[in-house]
Amino acid sequence: MTIHDLEIAEASGCHPMFLGVQSNVEFNKLRKRLLRNTRQALEDFAMVKPGERWLIGLSGGKDSYGLLALLLDLKWRGLLPVELIACNLDQGQPNFPKHILPDFLTRHGIQHRIEYKDTYSIVTDKVAENQTYCSLCSRLRRGHLYRVAREEGCSALVLGHHREDILETFLMNLFHGGRLAAMPPKLLNDDGDLMLLRPLSYCAEDDLEKFAQAMQFPIIPCDLCGSQDGLQRNMMKAMLSDIEKRMPGRKEIMIRALANTRPSHLLDRKIFDFAGLSLRLEEPSDSEIVLADYRK
């Protein structure tokens, strides 16, 4: 990115990443909606502490590209007072195009770090071909990203999980895990020294897909979990899609429901004291007795 690019961006009132993007009414509405949803999540879950440094996990998929662009846009507008550094973890997958992300990040003047760790060999060695790679792969990737965050002096690892990711996780836990749990927008890691943030928690996957197409991000497909058929998450995604098709607007209602729980109307004895429930058989006060006599 040249000084001339920066000058053009300043005059255009946008981050340099948005230069050259075809702007129209539909795209502007989409961009504003995504920015609004992202800001709402940042505010609702108290994610921002001015002056902090965040590590953004950049996989090369549409969601992480969208996350990076939206956070940079908010920072450019003076609405996100934190320092951002993008990080891609090259996991050693065969045929992974190593040049795409460094070229993209350098071209747009984005502070970044490319980290190489061969977790691909570990996953394919430990997990049978008929089993899901995702769980072990994500744990290994997360561990290395936490390490990089510490080395870079960051207080948070920021990931691009969106509304559908949260709902799919909820359904997987409901149908397969026997518990009511999803992906929290904000989570303290086990060691207690880093926050895990998901600012796209309110953003719809369809919106992020359209945003990625309009921005012409150089998408890198996953050849590991993306190569497996019959994943439980894919089944949940299909179920959600069918529900939304039959009853439009259900996804938005479901994500609101996760923020509107009633412990007394569930069955978890650990979060509600069912044993302590008792009938209200208090003695009437003197004034209540007088009033009752008067009415007679």
Query: What tokens does 170 get?
Result: 């909820």
Per-residue confidence (pLDDT) for residue 23, from 0 to 100: 79
pLDDT in tens, 30-70: 999 999 999 999 999 999 999 999 999 999 999 999 999 99
Residue 136 gets the label, from left (phi > 0), alpha (psi -120 to 50) or beta, of alpha
Query: What tokens does 56 get?
Result: 């953004």
- Name the most confidently modeled range: 123-132, 141-150, 279-288: 141-150
If you average pLDDT over residues 247-256, what whole number do you get?
A: 97
Per-residue confidence (pLDDT) for residue 11, from 0 to 100: 45
Per-residue confidence (pLDDT) for residue 3, from 0 to 100: 47
pTM: 0.85
Please provide the average confidence, as pLDDT, over all residues in the chain: 86
Per-residue confidence (pLDDT) for residue 228, from 0 to 100: 46
| Contacting residues for 256 by C-beta, under 8 A, at least 6 apart | none
In which band, very low, low, confident or very high, does the pLDDT at 287 lie, cut at 50, 70 and 90? low
pLDDT in tens, 98-136: 899 999 999 999 999 998 877 777 766 666 666 666 666
**Is the per-residue pLDDT at 288 higher than 60?**
no
Lowest mean per-residue pLDDT among 35-39, 139-143, 211-215, 232-236: 139-143
If you average pLDDT over residues 177-206, what whole number do you get?
A: 96
Question: In what helix (H) or strand (E) does residue 138 lie, and over which residues does it extend?
Answer: helix 134-151
Question: What is the distance between the alpha carbons of residues 54 and 72, in angstroms, rounded to a whole number?
Answer: 12
DSSP assigned state of 175 = I
**What sign does the CA torsion over 157, 160, 165, 167 have?**
positive
